[in-house]
Amino acid sequence: DIQMTQSPSTLSASVGDRVTVTCRASQSISSWLAWYQQKPGKAPKLLMYKAATLESGVPSRFSGGGSGTEFTLTISSLQPDDFATYFCQQYSHYPWTFGQGTKVEIK
Amino acid sequence: EEQLLESGGGLVQPGGSLRLSCVGSGYTFRNGPMSWVRQAPRKGLEWISAISGSGGSIYYADSVKGRFTISRDNSKNMLYLQMNSLRAEDSAIYYCARRSSGLDLWGQGTLVAVSS
């Protein structure tokens, strides 16, 4: 199975900060990577797919990059609504696997 | 509005069975591959099963293979997860989700608790 490793596990930041979350795959997944945002008590929400394609309706302050085994999710200017947990997920090979999550909290 | 709505969760004893259902609305259900994803309390997300739009291709995570069965009835816009031989570690919120590029539409989840 492909292991997905996110870093950091927790990120403390302030409104307006630029933040980056990293996701590493244990083997190449080309660009078959998605990012999700989850708030407490809610279902995950798709932010990005194919590593760098923004889902419809997602603010442009979110961006994604990378290919192969190294990927990033960047929020250019953190907004109050962005404090949440973020997960990466590979859909290159079954079984699909998720990263363990990165909690973005208020500094 | 496109929606997915799960049902069927509840409390079940170890070794028991449960069938989860998920109804899709607001879009052409038969066109979309579907998945089940679960999340144990205060834990991360775990993909557990997927099925193609026609139902002809099915995949499982090792953790549920041989115990869970995914199926769909496109005439009713329904997705199912039959869960047998349940264990305490199967306790989680179970989400159904549509695959477009990534999992782009999720239900609100249904809670399964396995305990004696």
What pLDDT is recorded for position A6? 98
Contact B59 A36 (CB under 8 A): no
Each residue's pLDDT tens digit, B51-68? 999 999 999 999 999 999
The answer to whether residue A106 scores a pLDDT higher than 90 is no
Q: Is the pLDDT of residue A20 over 90?
A: yes
Q: How far apart are alpha carbons A46 and B75 in whole angstroms? A: 27
Asked if residue B35 has pLDDT above 90, the reply is: yes
Residue A97 sits at the chain B interface (C-beta within 8 Å): yes
pLDDT at B42: 87
Measuring CA to CA, how many Å separate A39 from each of A8, A89, A107? 18, 17, 17
Q: Report the alpha-carbon distance of residue A91 to residue B98 in Å, rounded.
A: 13
Phi first, then psi: give them for residue A93, nearest 5 degrees. Answer: -135, 140
Give the HSE-up count for residue A98: Cα atoms under 13 Å, Cβ half-sphere: 24
Distance to chain B for A105, nearest Cα, Å: 16
CA A31 to chain B, closest CA, distance in angstroms equals 11
Residue A34 with chain B: CB contacts under 8 Å:
101-103
**In B, which residues are within 8 Å of A73 by CB distance?**
none
- Chain A residue with CA closest to B64: the answer is A95
Digit-coded pLDDT (tens) for A36-91? 999 999 999 999 999 999 999 999 999 999 999 999 999 999 999 999 999 999 99
- Residue B60: count other Cβ atoms within 10 Å of its Cβ: 20
Q: Which residues contact B27 (CB under 8 A, 6 or more apart)?
A: B2, B98, B105
Residue B106 Cα, gap to closest chain A Cα (Å): 7
Q: Report how far residue B108's alpha carbon sits from residue B113's, in angstroms, rounded to the nearest whole number.
A: 16
Q: Tell me, what's the pLDDT at B44?
A: 93
Interface of B with A (CB under 8 A): 35, 37, 44-47, 50, 59-62, 95, 99-104, 106-109
Residue A98 is nearest to which of B46, B59, B104, comparing CB atoms?
Answer: B46
| Cα B58 from Cα B49, distance rounded (Å) | 7
Write out the two tokens for A82: 């962005």
**pLDDT tens column, B77-97:** 999 999 999 999 999 999 999
> Taking 90 as the threshold, does the pLDDT of residue B20 lie above it?
yes
Residues in chain A with CB shorter than 8 Å from the CB of B106 are: 43-45
Cβ contacts below 8 Å, chain A against chain B, sum to: 59
Which pLDDT band holds residue A11 (cuts at 50, 70, 90)?
A: very high
Q: What is the DSSP letter of B26?
A: S
Pairing outcome for strands B58-60 and B34-39: unpaired
Q: How many residues does chain B have?
A: 116
Which long-range contacts does A24-29 make (Cβ < 8 Å, 24+ apart)? A24/A69, A24/A70, A24/A71, A25/A68, A25/A69, A25/A70, A25/A71, A25/A90, A26/A2, A26/A69, A27/A2, A27/A69, A28/A68, A28/A69, A28/A92, A29/A2, A29/A68, A29/A69, A29/A90, A29/A92, A29/A93
Other Cβ atoms less than 10 A from the Cβ of B99: the count is 19
pLDDT number for residue B31: 84
Closest by Cβ to B102, choosing from A46, A99, A101 = A46
CB contact under 8 A, A34 and B102: yes
Of B35, B62, B109, the CB nearest to A43: B109
